[in-house]
């Protein structure tokens, strides 16, 4: 890691306002299509690992562990650009998403919309979750 | 409000997993360009008012009050579609944003990016905050 990269990481981490649990929400967006893929949580280490490796890492609140997106499913996220909002309490990750971002096999986690008839599924799954996580 | 609308609102609210404070994060995205504008928080009442009126409402954690986006600044958000993620703990609001979503006068709150040289501003403000909130 170059000294310049270390400086950027420090500047980003210093700009983030982590919540009481040491976390910040991160929105992952496909960099070219603009599709919002998912929202997950990052801690300081997840931000550092993401910027250092170029592969998006999150903090799993349920498993209480650092997690490289796609480490089990192969559905990785390559970081294209990290942005931070005006008050530093949310991140926006522009990414290159391989395959399905959602554990259901959907490209995006936001596949249900409120329409006249109620909540409806508005897209088709790309993959069978069994194929992504099974065995 | 029609009975059908009431049913949709109930179905959405029932599908949301609110946090311990009764809140859920909501990502606002310009419906046609795909630009991610901001992330804010909604409670049950904010969701109900948004779906009922078609104008996006949030819950202000600092002011502890319901807030119609643009009520002071005029920079309103008309709801085009509300989506919910796979596990119901985040909302995505596709909106028609009038002017600047950010209180700084920027179109989007995510106007700073981590680049080689550090955090840099990657867009120009649309408006002077003084003009939006002054007087």
A35 touching B (Cβ < 8 Å): yes
The per-residue pLDDT for range B49-108, each reduced to its tens digit, is 999 999 999 999 999 999 999 999 999 999 999 999 999 999 999 999 999 999 999 999
Q: How many CB pairs under 8 A join A and B?
A: 120
A15-29 b/e with 16+ CB inside 10 Å = b? bbeeeeeebbbbbbb
Rg (CA), chain B: 16
pLDDT score for A101: 96
Beta-strand runs (E) in chain B: 24-30, 36-42, 57-60, 65-68, 77-84, 91-97, 112-115, 118-121
The per-residue pLDDT for range B98-118, each reduced to its tens digit, is 999 999 999 999 999 999 889
Burial of A91 (0-12, 13-18, 19+ CB in 10 A): buried
Cα–Cα distance for residue pair A47/A12, rounded to 1 Å: 8
pLDDT score for B50: 98
Mean pLDDT in consecutive groups of 10 residues from the start of chain A, 135 residues? 79 97 98 98 98 97 96 95 98 97 96 93 91 77
Round the average pLDDT of chain B to a whole number and report it.
Answer: 94
pLDDT band at B127 (very low <50, low <70, confident <90, very high): confident
pLDDT band at B2 (very low <50, low <70, confident <90, very high): low
Name B56's bridge partners: none
pLDDT score for A96: 98
Q: Which residue has the higher pLDDT, B22 or B128?
A: B22
Q: Which residues of chain B does A119 touch, with a Cβ-Cβ cutoff of 8 Å? A: 8, 11-12, 15, 84
Tell me the nearest-neighbour CA distance from A117 into chain B, angstroms.
7
Contact B97, B37 (CB under 8 A): yes
B93 touching A (Cβ < 8 Å): no
Beta-strand runs (E) in A8-111: 24-30, 36-42, 57-60, 65-68, 77-84, 91-97
Q: Which residue has the higher pLDDT, A19 or B2?
A: A19
Cα–Cα distance for residue pair B12/A118, rounded to 1 Å: 8
Cα–Cα distance for residue pair A103/A130, rounded to 1 Å: 10
pLDDT score for A55: 98
Q: Which residues of chain A does B39 touch, with a Cβ-Cβ cutoff of 8 Å? A: 25, 27, 85, 90
A39 touching B (Cβ < 8 Å): yes
B122 touching A (Cβ < 8 Å): yes
- Say yes or no for a CB contact (<8 Å) between A119 and B34: no
pLDDT score for B134: 76
A80 touching B (Cβ < 8 Å): no
Cα–Cα distance for residue pair A37/B90, rounded to 1 Å: 12
For residue B51, what is the nearest residue in chain A, using CA coordinates?
A114
As a dihedral over the C-alpha atoms of residue A30, residue A31, residue A33, residue A35, rounded to 10 degrees, the angle is 30
- Say yes or no for a CB contact (<8 Å) between A83 and B110: yes
Interface mutation target, options A46, A119, A121, chain B, most CBs of B under 10 Å? A119
pLDDT band at B8 (very low <50, low <70, confident <90, very high): very high
Write the ipTM: 0.94
Q: Which residues of chain B does A103 touch, with a Cβ-Cβ cutoff of 8 Å? A: 86
Is the per-residue pLDDT at B119 higher than 80? yes
Closest CA to A92 of A104, A100, A102, A84: A84
- Say yes or no for a CB contact (<8 Å) between A8 and B85: no
3-class DSSP state for residue A121?
A: strand
pLDDT score for B135: 54
Cα–Cα distance for residue pair A55/B44, rounded to 1 Å: 35
pLDDT band at B17 (very low <50, low <70, confident <90, very high): very high
């Amino acid at each position: 890691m170059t000294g310049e990269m270390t400086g950027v990481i420090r500047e980003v981490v210093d700009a983030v306002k982590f919540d009481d649990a040491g976390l910040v929400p991160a929105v992952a967006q496909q960099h070219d299509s603009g599709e919002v893929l998912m929202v997950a949580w990052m801690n300081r280490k997840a931000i550092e690992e993401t910027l250092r490796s170029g592969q998006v890492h999150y903090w799993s609140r349920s498993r209480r562990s650092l997690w490289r997106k796609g480490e089990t499913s192969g559905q990785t996220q390559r970081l294209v650009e990290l942005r931070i909002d005006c008050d530093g309490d949310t991140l926006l990750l522009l990414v290159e998403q391989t395959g399905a971002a959602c554990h259901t096999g959907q490209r995006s986690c936001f596949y249900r919309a409120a329409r006249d008839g109620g909540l409806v599924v508005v897209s088709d799954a790309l993959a069978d979750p069994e194929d992504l996580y099974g065995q």
